[in-house]
Structure 1
Amino acid sequence: MSELSSRKSQLASFDKLLTIMDELRDQCPWDRKQTIESLRHLTIEETFELSDAILDNNLEEIKKELGDILLHIVFYAKIGAEKSAFDIGTVIDSLSEKLVRRHPHIYADTIAEDEEAVKQNWEKIKLKEKGNISVLGGVPRSLPAIIKAMRIQEKARGVGFDWEEKNQVWEKVEEEMQEFKAEFNAAKPEEINLDRAKGEFGDLLFSLINYARFIDINPEEALERTNLKFIKRFQYLEKAAKEAGKKIEDMSLAEMDVYWEEAKKV
């Protein structure tokens, strides 16, 4: 990797990007056509690509994906300037002001001796800023369910609504497991109330996510790692079966399990 640039060089690079954005918006048919709405789904896609690079711990790809997201930020700001609503300068100024405002333990006389105190201050200040009636009002509706559960729990903790010990949370997990089993394990399938079972399963997932938070595990990341592990092993199974002249759809579960166990050792 080349030597990291100085602050002066970084500002020059940012200025160059802004110039390129101006030129593209003026001269490129595709760039001229884009709107805030049309960029939305592309921004979401770029965010997931960054997430993949982070999970792979691929710093070169992280650099590239950060560049793609920065492009989108500059693009939105350019469109905002055209609408006389905001530009990249006011976006950055607003962010800087917010960071100062939400870190009173650095820029004012508030005391925060640990990470938890910082988080609680942040949530309280954010609630006051946004004027939300509910502490949970700032949780985006479109967040994936696991991430939304995490944010709900974090925000509730920010105002002191949380368990005190992790063993209490685990007891809640076991309680929810028993309630789910009681609802789902009906003697006859037709007696199962799927709506209630679904509700109990949701409660169980919520409590597991809560426990993960208490032991500093990101459940979204943990599940994605398991997804990737399953994909890797299943693809080994497919490849091994093909090399053995077998069609996976014609194999018994016991036959497939032999390759699955081999995959665990690879």
Structure 2
Amino acid sequence: MPRAALFQMTSGIDPAANAEAIVGAIADARGEGAAMLFTPEMCGLLDRDRKRGAAHVVAEEENLVLAAAREAAAREGIWVHLGSLAVRGEGGDGRFANRAFVIDDTGAVRARYDKIHMFDVDLASGESWRESNAYAPGREVVGVDTPLGKLGLAICYDIRFPALFEALGHARCDLIAIPAAFTVPTGRAHWHLLQCARAVEASAYVVSAAQVGEHADGRTTYGHSLVVDPWGEIRLDMGGADDGGRPGLGFAEIDPARIAEVRGQLPSLANRQALPSPL
């Protein structure tokens, strides 16, 4: 069975340091027999100070983290999913894109996905986030063939919107990546619940590399990088801010027979009916 590697990170405000960590993880993942490495959302730069962080946000062809990951993927002969990078957008309104990249074992970019749903919330903890002020939402649902199977792409807050996962399920994605930088309050409340629900409704593996711990910009992220199988069973949990979880690599097997078994026993995708328009 093909093996997935997840790199749980505590990304900081220095892209060069983050790139160095990712390159090391690519080599280590390949050394452990993984066919593909997954990294979290904003793996190349995590900085809530938008003025300071903007100095490092460039067009993707100039992004040093993307360049380093492509070079390392080709050198090691492994596929890499960069959960997301902040890159300059092409929309002309000055906003950035929160963009995921799938890189093959020759270093070529096979797919890109821009996060569709923006995290604009005020939490009971007092935290306030307005992602849409700096980032433009994506518009396309994306799937791509990989050594692990057909991979559907999502990012963090996307997990709360079932229609995206219904679309990926009906595209017969074998696994779905949901890289994240979840806050601790929302993580404690909903992270495991939502991951399992999305795996079940799409009848697919969910592979979710996450940010964890205290970051240089002052935030704390929940962690708990997960692999969940199509039946909703957790196959990997790397721990998090609530139980001593740390940065590092974790591994899980992606079993194509398990996907076929679940879809045969519970053919919810095949049984779906079109719903009438709401009143």
Q: TM-score, normalised by structure 1?
A: 0.23
Question: Going by fraction, where is strand more abundant, 1 or 2?
Answer: 2
Greater per-residue helix proportion? 1
* TM-score between the two structures when normalised by the length of structure 2: 0.22
Higher gyration radius (CA): 1
Of structures 1 and 2, the one with the larger relative CO (CA 8 A, separation 6+) is: 2
